[in-house]
Amino acid sequence: MRRTLRKWSPFIAAAAVFALAPALSAQLTQYDLEPRSGMESHIGNITGHAKDAKADYRRFCVGCHGELGDGNGENFPWLDPKPRDFQLGIFKCRSTPTGTLPTDEDLSNTLARGLDRSNMPQWSNLTKQQRADLVAWVKHFSPRWVSEKPGTPIQIPAEPEVTPERIKAGRDVFAKVQCWKCHGVEGKADGPSAATLTDDQGRPILAFNFTEGARPKCGSTDQDLYKIFMTGLDGTPMPSFADNIKPDEAWDLVFYLKALEPQKSKEKAIAKQLGLKPVDPNAPPPSGQ
């Protein structure tokens, strides 16, 4: 860099620096990040050290997430959805309430799982130590981890027995809190709001189609489904329903979502037996509500 500059006439060099200045001042640099490179993560009995992830990040992540973690890697133009900007400190997959930081374990689980329907691969081939180090490195890009602690994970009550009553009650919750507005009455991601959804960056985003057999990004166990709508996917239009759905009702809703999915399940068999119809947005609310 210095050698090329020296070859330029002083005038051109000055003009070039002047032109670059506004862009540089708006952009975080390595120097801003350096003080945070002592960041740690704690996952079970493993301590992750940001510094130790430098080489792995270069090798495995930088092409998408960029040198400065801003999501501006060289693959940026071709990817949809876009790689996450870690400087924002906003994450979809959390066990913690909406608006709060995820736990280190949440981030490590995300790395191991990958994000379905995106180019974010599964990193299950890395060791737990490598993932813990990478989690610390991801955290060092955002000042949020200096000023805030992760949220307290939500409480998930023990999973109750699936019954026909619970599946019907789950359908009533799906109708009442209007999941169908985005996800559609049959869960086909074709609700009245579906076509106009955008994420916090203003980029178009699709609601999840339950009927295609796709895996939710943030996990597909019953507990994961519970967590997804009780914590929300931050940075997207998918909100948290923690204030609108009681814990017991949340389980009913999980069972109903499973009845919408094409995979064989107890819930699907029961719904079929009941001849359960999709919600009707124009019907009066179920009695007692």
Binding site for ligand HEC (CB under 6 A): 60-61, 63-65, 75, 79, 81, 83-84, 91-93, 107, 110-111, 115, 118-121, 123, 134, 138, 177-179, 181-183, 193, 197, 205, 207-208, 216-218, 225, 228-229, 233, 236-238, 241, 253, 257
Minimum gap (Å) between residue 168 Cβ and ligand HEC: 16
CA atoms within 13 A on the CB side of 270: 18
Question: Considering beta carbons, is residue 24 or 58 the nearer one to ligand HEC?
Answer: 58
CB neighbours (10 Å) of residue 102?
25
For tokens 């999973």, the residue is 159
Question: Considering beta carbons, is residue 50 or 270 the nearer one to ligand HEC?
Answer: 50
Question: Considering beta carbons, is residue 151 or 216 the nearer one to ligand HEC?
Answer: 216
Minimum gap (Å) between residue 172 Cβ and ligand HEC: 12
Give the amino acid at 285. Answer: P
* Residues near 255 by beta carbon (within 8 Å), at least 6 away in sequence: 162, 166, 167, 170, 267
**Torsion angle, CA of 257/263/269/270, rounded to 10 degrees?**
-10
Question: Considering beta carbons, is residue 13 or 239 the nearer one to ligand HEC?
Answer: 239
* H or E segment to which residue 43 belongs: strand 40-43
Minimum gap (Å) between residue 107 Cβ and ligand HEC: 5
Question: Considering beta carbons, is residue 102 or 270 the nearer one to ligand HEC?
Answer: 102
Residue 205's nearest CA partner among 231, 228, 182 is: 182
Minimum gap (Å) between residue 63 Cβ and ligand HEC: 6
